[in-house]
Chains A and B, each alone.
Chain A
Amino acid sequence: MKRIGVFVCHCGSNIAAVVDVKKVAEEAKSMLGVVYSTDYQYMCSEPGQDVIIKAVKEHNLNRVVVAACSPRLHEPTFRKTLENAGLNPYYVEMANLREHCSWVHPNDKEGATLKSIDLVRKAVAKVNKTVALFPGEIPVEKRCLVIGGGIAGMQTAIDVADMGYEVIILEREATIGGKMAILDKTFPTMDCSACICTPKMVDAAQHPNIKLYTLSELESVGGYVGNFEVTIRKKARYVDMVKCTGCGICEAKCPKKVESEFDYGMGKRPCIYKPFPQAVPNKPMIDPENCRKLKENKCGVCAKVCPTDAVNFEDKDELVTERFGAIVMATGYELYDWKKDFGEYGYGKYPDVIDGLQFERLVNASGPTMGKIKRPSDGEIPQDIVIIKCVGSRSTEKGKTYCSKICCMYTAKHATQILEKNPNANVYIFYMDVRTPGKMYDEFYMRAKEGYGATYLRGQVSKIYQEGKKLIVKAEDTLVGKPVEVKADMVILATAAAAVKDSSEIAQTVGFSYDKDGFFTEAHPKLRPIETNTAGVFLAGTCQGPKDIPETVSQATAAAAKVGALFSKDKMATSPMISYVDEGLCSGCGLCIPVCPYKAIELITIKERVHGGEVERQVANVNAGLCQGCGPCTVACRSGAINLRGFTNQQILAEVDAACQ
């Protein structure tokens, strides 16, 4: 027997000024199952909640309707109230008299009161069909997978490892370090990037709780929060990591040199190589695309010179499957590929038109030019250098629409670096706007401009073409409204930071959403910027959108905190408002399976006794850990065998009936 109590809230005057709350409470008394009803000024306040608890005890209530504000606001509050009153917390239903009634019908008091009565009747009808719900429990595997070994991934890994949990860093390159290891200096302090990045790399590698999987890629991800099952492809390295001492003889003796990816084509590397001298792990790999032994079965010099016999041309990819409780995405960014779109800048055919990361290698003391800024074409020291901002960003025509955020600062840094090394050089920076929010950022920009004397010109460059040894840069100075022409020795493009090319595939493999630009989407842009919409998958760094290093590191630590919170319990409570299957009705057709966005439904075989014999048949089964309680499966089911707890067919139909009375 249902004994329902209805509690109508005045919400001060928010509801009571429009709705006749006394009348609503009075009318509620005649509704089916209602044995008690009252009104109170603030139902959500402590005395208000006490009114409910007292009434539950005095009138032996077993269901409660609170007619107040939106359940999106106070449903959790009143569930706790019911728990305190000794009832199942899911025995409460709310009628939204404030947001959906009094606030939107202030001039229709009579209509609002009638509507309020209807809303209460609707809630009473639903709560009449409500059954007790109990949260489920799933175990948590306290191991964290960090995908990407850049500064974001390393920071998350170190923080999670420091909490005492095991972490695996998955990195597809041969070394961790990411983009930060490529940079020369960092703004605005101009400290050496390698000097702060390489110790972090060593910290991560030597941490007892961290394991590095370099040259490894994600193959597949199954499972759900607390229980992900991840298959990783460890690619063939052709060098035995145990035997190799990293002496470097093989690198020195390899006869074939190709363009270095790490130097962005600014330098050469052998075919058995470490990406850079401080690589972690500090052991070489063989590039199977270019190695003559692997391609043509010739050469093999590295194996001959190796003192520890570590080179193994027979090495194969290896697949490993491991279990993790949480996944942190830290896959980073890459520069927007400007060459395909920017014909006016020469589609990349002028060697002296380079991008920001190429310049980082040129200016880097450990780079191919030992830190001397030389033109890639002839090795001369450039005197007149043009920097063009917003290449591929803030554009609706080509490239990306967003502001790439870091470029204004790194162009100021580049200008400073050029002028520090060659005070007589002329640096011209073409910009749309200069955006430098951040601690000491604007001061840094002003110093580049006024202290070092970089020339800032407002306007986008319309054309670059070569004339003899010079690059002619044509633009309009929009501040004076006159065309300008600069004869430059070198042009640096501040190209947009873009999502990595296969970011969408990565997101699909792990199972969460990404935006039109390929950046990973956070669960809520303001309140849940670290989480994805998939429970247990978190975001760190530039895979979510362009960020500078301090922001990346902060987000990485935040992601680690989220992982720590998840791992702090042995078992996780799951929402009980999920789908369930009535096996007696289920025909095992499987139509519900493709509808589920969380892959939570699968067919299982059950045994039944029919006419004295035992038969096996297939039925759908909902995984409580994966189901998020959305409900499209309930509609897809032809036999009506799937229902959604908390929003059952019976509850919704009862609401419909009550709303139409």
Chain B
Amino acid sequence: MSVEQNTLEREKQQGEWTPKIVGFCCNWCSYAGADLAGTSRFQYPSNLRIIRVPCSGRVNPHMVIRAFQKGADGVLVAGCHPGDCHYATGNYYARRRMLVFKRLLEYVGIEPERFQARWISGSEGQKFAENAIKLSEEIKALGPNRKLRDVR
């Protein structure tokens, strides 16, 4: 067992650790979906911090890397369903970019569960909450993210 895994195990056993998750949500669908989760009172863990962007196509992989550098344990990019983009094609670009970027993240050793792209419409509050719960659980199981972290 490596030193890193050792620390990880220890942190897990302490039980108090909760992951830090950053979510980039497009204004028209996923942010609205998160709003609907609120108005419908669907509960999910309080570790998700949502950043509003106009379109999932606005999310630069640079921003995702920055989140991991600054200590995020997971990142969610959420937009309108493909074909339903408020701006016609933005989420298609997001889908392609994020797919390639995910492969790159896997290549540098970040588990695929840590970076997820989801398509959640403004009427899917339930789906938003379910995704937030699932994401949180999956990342909790993985433990804290140490790769890419800025140690300065």
Contact = CB atoms under 8 A, between A and B. Distances in A.
A99 B45 CA distance: 14
A182 B62 CA distance: 60
Contacts of B35: 70, 72-73, 96, 99-100
Nearest to A94: B52
A108 B46 contact: yes
A196 to B, nearest CB: 39
A118 B45 CA distance: 15
Given A103-B39, A103-B41, A632-B93, A657 B66 contact: yes
A33 to B, nearest CB: 19
B49 A631 contact: no
A513 B88 CA distance: 8
Contacts of A513: 88
Given A104-B38, A106-B43, A595-B93, A632 B51 contact: no
A200 B50 CA distance: 55
A597 B37 contact: no
B63 interface: yes
A456 interface: no
A597 B89 contact: yes
B22 interface: yes
B31 interface: yes
A39 interface: no
Contacts of B54: 577, 629-631, 644, 647
A104 B22 contact: no
A649 interface: yes
B59 to A, nearest CB: 7
Contacts of A71: 52
Interface string B101-138: 00000000000000000000000000001000000000
A271 interface: no
Contact of B38 (A103, A577, A655): A103
Interface in A594-636: 595, 597-598, 628-632, 634-636
B38 A652 contact: no
Given A597-B90, A635-B57, A105 B46 contact: yes
Nearest to B128: A104
A102 B8 CA distance: 31
A598 to B, nearest CB: 8
Contacts of A577: 54
Interface in B1-58: 18, 20, 22, 27, 31-32, 34-35, 37-39, 41-47, 49-55, 57-58
Contacts of B70: 656-657, 660-661
A660 B21 CA distance: 8
Contacts of A655: 51
B44 A104 contact: yes
A92 interface: no
Contacts of B45: 105, 108, 111
Contact of A647 (B58, B71, B86, B94): B58
A458 B50 CA distance: 54
Given A71-B52, A107-B43, A634 B60 contact: yes
A628 B87 contact: yes
B139 interface: no
A165 B1 CA distance: 79
Nearest to A111: B46
A353 interface: no
A142 to B, nearest CB: 28
A566 B146 CA distance: 55
A609 B88 CA distance: 40
B78 interface: no
B87 A630 contact: yes
A112 B58 contact: no
Contact of A99 (B22, B34, B90): B34
A655 B24 CA distance: 11
A115 B35 CA distance: 16
Interface residues of A, number: 47
A372 to B, nearest CB: 50
A115 B53 CA distance: 19
Interface in A501-518: 513
Contacts of B18: 111
A656 B31 contact: no
B53 A660 contact: no
Nearest to B34: A100
A634 B32 CA distance: 23
Contacts of A72: 27, 31-32, 35
Interface in A101-133: 101, 103-108, 111-112, 114-115, 118-119, 122
A122 B88 contact: no
A200 B144 CA distance: 72
A635 B93 contact: yes
B58 A96 contact: no
B97 interface: yes
B113 to A, nearest CB: 18
Nearest to B60: A635
Contacts of B44: 104-105
A105 B43 contact: yes
A101 B27 contact: no
A632 B90 contact: yes
A122 B49 contact: yes
20 contacts: A72-B32, A96-B35, A99-B37, A101-B46, A104-B41, A107-B43, A111-B46, A630-B55, A630-B87, A630-B90, A632-B57, A632-B87, A634-B60, A647-B54, A649-B63, A652-B58, A656-B70, A657-B66, A659-B51, A661-B70
Given A118-B49, A630-B87, A652-B60, 13 more contacts: A103-B38, A104-B41, A104-B129, A106-B43, A108-B45, A119-B49, A577-B54, A628-B87, A630-B57, A655-B51, A659-B20, A659-B49, A660-B67
Shortest 7 CB-CB contacts between residues of A and residues of B: A99-B38, A631-B58, A632-B57, A111-B46, A660-B70, A630-B87, A659-B49
Interface of A: 70-73, 96, 98-101, 103-108, 111-112, 114-115, 118-119, 122, 513, 533, 577, 595, 597-598, 628-632, 634-636, 644, 647, 649, 652-653, 655-657, 659-661
Interface of B: 18, 20, 22, 27, 31-32, 34-35, 37-39, 41-47, 49-55, 57-63, 66-67, 70-72, 86-90, 93-94, 97, 129
